[in-house]
Structure 1
């Protein structure tokens, strides 16, 4: 009797257990089972910024490669475009020539150009670019104070579908249509090599740079140091400065600390001017070369200054035109190279008059004013 009852109880509990298992199986889909079929949703629309962002192709172009044809210029004239042109400062000839190249080209194409400058203030520039985005400009050409700090504004331009061409190096985040650069490494290497060879490749040399976190500035620094490394010269100072008076003080300190200093190399325009003033005030036979060929340097060549030997000049007006051309190409729906390179030219005592016409087209030289 006991055994029969136990078998009946066991049968009852097994049956109950199977019913519970089947019930639970009906309430959940095993991970390995295919999901239940559902109606196919309509294809999602691409985000507005992706649809509007112009194409950028991964190669390098020259300025002449992206020049607009007469037919393209006529199309652009009929579109009544507005471009923003924002620079990190406006205190040297390069920036002013860059703006001139952009303004002249925009005027030729019937484009309204909104020009602003940040005074080396990254936060100010961030606000300026965001303002251009709010104004719904058709394109932005800019020189960044800091490629990390400007990233949020670049991302907002991306969201709005506004193409951006940037001088010097890409932002840390966000996409740009193209990066505009001079051949910075080559320019500094060539000018610095000219200097160190002229002083015999031995002795002490100081270097004055600019502390900008940009790819093109890093390339200048590397080109300078690589040229010096080909000699037996000793770098006794390598200082970054923001302003001409700071360059003057840096050069004075180098000269005072090193009475036997033979040369100074400056990697940007105001550093060249400050270093030259310090050398002249010292009364010593110290030679100078640099990157950026500005009016003051050309005048020094014309006056026969014994200290200044060479300058590497950026073709700023060419870059300004190329920036507008690239944005116009993008508006027309054409792909643009991800990098645009404009070669530098070496300016010396022997060719400064010829090089003036290359770097300052249509502008009267200072010695003729």
Structure 2
């Protein structure tokens, strides 16, 4: 599975994720408007690691799916847990099924872990699913999503996610640079109430409007189902055949947009998107429409989650909302970009084409 699965299924659930969407503030904020803290500030000293080793603690990883992104987060978490002497005793994959995730919680609780790292799929279902873990005193660290009515410091340690504003800003800056800071662009955003994608998408739009007066967003279209991306792009291109650029909310629908551009014989319109995937990366290194991909440091997300869990076990106060850094991946830095984001080599097809 490629990076396309990073949020593909998760975002398809966007309409279910009834989290309160904070007002767009020009910076990344949590689902309840929490101020963001850089992940670099969530660290444990060697002395604290030694203290954790004495406790012989254990942890479990409850993931929403399997993907390159999840593998990178897992790798970062396991490396940090190893440093802290915390044994990972279970890892599950809910396959984007909230009922399966509830069952996974029950399964891992039988192993009595002291800490759990998890991405809750559905706020309502997960609130019920994770209650037994909270009651058992398990230190829960959340990735991106929050169970409904959960209170930080009482029910969970912290939420860790991307620097959402910077994801959108990096994409805007990259597209602007590719089209000479002037021209017409389309904005294809995630049409669901979900604070992760909403902030990323809005940051792109706000950056273009604030920083690039000679770039006009002439077409705006929401998308809920990635499978509709090609049709949406065809309709936009029909009305705007002279588009200079297109922003696409994440990499899976970006693949559909690329299909529409190829079908139209359009090699001019530049595309930017978020999150690494092999097809999008391959188009980029082959000199296709894709000019850049904004990506998060997924390995660092995992490291920060494990460090936060360790801090929770030590009774340390952890900031309520933690964000990992962002990078812009281009043809020039694709090999290093894949490593920095996913802590693994880029797909062979991408590396070969980049030579």
Map 1:259-278; keep pairs closer than 5 Å: 259-278=241-260
- Pick the aligned partner of 1:304 from 279, 287, 293: 287
- Report if aligned partners of 1:185, 1:223 keep a CA contact under 8 Å in 2: yes
SS in 2 for 1:158: helix
- Pick the aligned partner of 2:330 from 348, 351, 355: 348
- Report if aligned partners of 1:94, 1:294 keep a CA contact under 8 Å in 2: no
Structure 1, unpaired ranges of 5+: 1-57
CA–CA distance in structure 2, aligned partners of residues 203 and 218 of structure 1? 22
Q: Which residue of 2 aligns with 1:22?
A: none
Map 1:53-202; keep pairs closer than 5 Å: 60-91=36-67, 93-108=68-83, 109-175=85-151, 176-196=156-176, 198-199=178-179, 201-202=182-183
- Cα deviation digits, residues 101-121 of structure 1 (max 9, x gap): 223333443412422222222
- Pick closer, same or farther for the CA change 1:264–1:171 going to 2, 3 Å: same
Aligned length: 307
Q: TM-score, normalised by structure 1?
A: 0.72
Map 1:199-214; keep pairs closer than 5 Å: 199=179, 201-209=182-190, 211=192, 213-214=193-194
- Pick closer, same or farther for the CA change 1:195–1:89 going to 2, 3 Å: same
Q: Which residue of 2 aligns with 1:232?
A: 216
- Report if aligned partners of 2:187, 2:217 keep a CA contact under 8 Å in 1: no
- Pick the aligned partner of 1:216 from 177, 192, 196: 196
More relative contact order, 1 or 2 (CA 8 Å, 6+ apart): 2
SS in 2 for 1:309: strand
Q: Which residue of 1 aligns with 2:276?
A: 293
Structure 2, unpaired ranges of 5+: 1-33
Deviation at residue 368 of structure 1 after TM alignment: 4.7
Q: TM-score, normalised by structure 2?
A: 0.74
Deviation at residue 144 of structure 1 after TM alignment: 2.5
CA–CA distance in structure 2, aligned partners of residues 191 and 123 of structure 1? 35
- Pick closer, same or farther for the CA change 1:214–1:113 going to 2, 3 Å: farther
Higher CA-based Rg: 1
